[in-house]
Structure 1
Amino acid sequence: MTDLDEASRPSNGALAEPTRPVGVGWVAAFASAWFGIWMAQLTPVQLLLPAQIDAVLRPEHWTDSVLAFGVVSGIAALFTVVAYPITGALSDRTGSRFGRRRPWIAAGTVVFALALVALGLQTGIVGIGAAWVAASVGFCMVTAALTATISDRVPVGQRGFVSGWMSAPQSVGIIVGLVVVTMLITGTAAGYAVIAVALIVLVLPFLRLPDPPLAARERARVSARSILASLWISPRRHPDFAWTLTSRVLVSISNALGTSLLLYFLMFGLGDPLAEEHLLVLTLIYMLFVIVASLGFGRLSDRLGRRKAFVFAASVLQAAAALVLALVPDLGAAMIAAGLLGLGYGCFLSVDQALATQVLPDPAARGKDLGIMNIASAVPQALGPLLAALAVVATASFTPVFVLSAACAVAGALAVSRVRSVR
């Protein structure tokens, strides 16, 4: 019997399928950690990073700044592809007395925070790119391990609700981050430093929760060869995993195309002199709908025992939001689109996460498999700005970006309809 076979045997410990519901304290600490993570990740993406790049480059034409932001995001995405599954696989095999996930959550948080502080001190485009890559790697480390705790600790019938507390803080994190760096804190370096400190403070409560360590017989031998070999998951043997992964890639690209250049769309597409203030308004609308949808539809999907219909409908709503932006490019329509997008993406985030935990091939490799699944969210979010920037540069218009966003969302809905093992 191989080490991996031994690690895959049923267990009453870290690898056992959870049956006891998690309590309010666990959910609160989980939500707090995600609040800090999303604020630290999305505040730079939505405002700090593009503004910093534009200030450093001072380009003659605004499309040069858009393209530079897209390139920096695209390079970070390449590192994300590697970091997510590898750190997830390593957390699966970590035999620390502190558990499998906590060491990686702690280390990832520290790397992420330090990289953000360093990012705020950069005055050149190369330094900005390098610091953002380091921040992205830290983000992968902490989120790969934290996402795996859903499969480790949460029973299937509670995963839609708990996943809602992973997605709802995303919107709260964006709005709080934007308020902090636009109204309370002046200066790029100070803005990055504040969200870095907030990240550490908000993750700490989760690190105090128990994390069952691997028993000796559950520990697989760690080697580069075994980790690399485990990264391949056959679509033929595990088609539902493949279709869920494909759907997430497409819907995440759709969301990234629809949101990543929103500041530029307001500034240059609509010629809005109050672009930053209106970005805050749109984000607030988006936030409210994401919170309602992620928590409400997540719990409803648990009660009905259905996932696919919710994910399908959520994808179609995102397509509708993108088409509104493409066909009616004005601020009022953008507000309607923000509500539709929040409703669709909030539902998608919570229910699709629950769906993903139910199509994992191996209970001994939850961190690695969910790390691969997380690539389908993180990489499109990083590549989206590059794809959108190329479309804008080629056409001098934002309309093709939103049309492509709608097409990807519809394709994502069709992909999830092919899942067979989960209703």
Structure 2
Amino acid sequence: MSTVTAAGSAGSAGPAVPARATNAVVTGIGVMSPIGLSTEAYWAALLAGTSGIGRVTRFDPDPYSVRLAGEIRDFDPAQHVPDRLLAQTDHVTRLSLAAAGEALADAAVEPAELPEYGIGVITASSAGGFEYGHRELDKLWRQGPAHVSAYQSFAWFYAVNTGQISIRHSLRGSSGVLVSDQAGGLDAVAHARRRVRRGTPVVVTGAVDGSLCPWGWVGQVSSGQFSSSDDPATAYRPFEPDASGAVPGEGGAILILEDEQAARARGVPRVYGRIAGYAATFDPAPGRDGEPGAALRRAIEQALAEAGAEPGDIDVVFADAAGTPELDRSEAAALQAVFGPAGVPVTAPKTMTGRLCAGGAALDLATALLAIRDGVVPPTVHVRNPDPGHALRLVTGTPRRMRVRSALIVARGFRGFNSALVVTAS
């Protein structure tokens, strides 16, 4: 998997202008996940505690040490993508197009009714079209260069989802892509908020990601952060004493971010919530001394400060939940340092889907917005004996009905990315 640290631009941003005071709000959500192929289907499955983790079916996983995944199994691309695009798009790009279409419809955005450069697209990716690339490389190896599709030139690229969404909907505003692994979904939304503050009325943002193919699988397995268990019920158990790693998955969420004043002026059907604060930090180099979770703690504290919030103002934390003892310990230490022992409810609904690369944090953000909308926090499944040393108030077993006015989403990427985002009711 890619661990590129820099953000890449997929379009010209135009001349920089001073940011203005504005509220950037989420007005549309589109979800593609292992447990639901729409926002409401995903939400219903999540509250029912449905797990989408199972043995990989896309290829034979037996030669690999990791054999489970949160796989999307019932997606029919022909129902979501025009025939002319099927030959030139990767599986994940098709999922992204479907999620973007749902999000735009949810927000009742009509691109033709906005200025020509009024809608941008900023997504995140950790792999690009790996499955497409794997297939074409196999053709090259087995059949020769004449059999490789010309679309390989861009279908594999990590910016392809941004590009295809832009083309599909004729969106010509400021666009880009962020590459920061699991943290990418939050980083993309934060970058989109900057564009809204600088005058772009609407930005399509978030991430749908994954690489469930042999080529992508090798990269993920080599990280050493995934469980080798063959039991879907016990493989991914973050914050348990004997946690053995996470489970990879595919999917995510695309969101519509708008200037609140402009959104209400155009009669937007609903406002899910406001992006109130964000920060990102990077871990020190391996081997350097430091307090466990210190960089993550700084990201949380800075996001709270930007939101003008105190720790006591946060109703729930959506945890990164890496599922390895060391990373779970450092995240728990960061949360304890900010909120105190068992100071705030914490949940990790990604235990039902697996870790979705850049799509995971975007899906957690969408989930937090739905929790605010409906006043219910989905549970962390499969976790029955949390390590008491972590001192976390984990929501396990069943959903928790509670008033949710603000949520913190935490995400960490491979080799040191930390991001934290605060979302509030508008």
If the length of structure 1 is used for normalisation, what is the TM-score? 0.33
If the length of structure 2 is used for normalisation, what is the TM-score? 0.33
- Per chain length, whose mean CA-contact separation is higher, i.e. which structure has more relative contact order (CA < 8 Å, sep 6+)? 1
Q: Which has the higher strand share?
A: 2
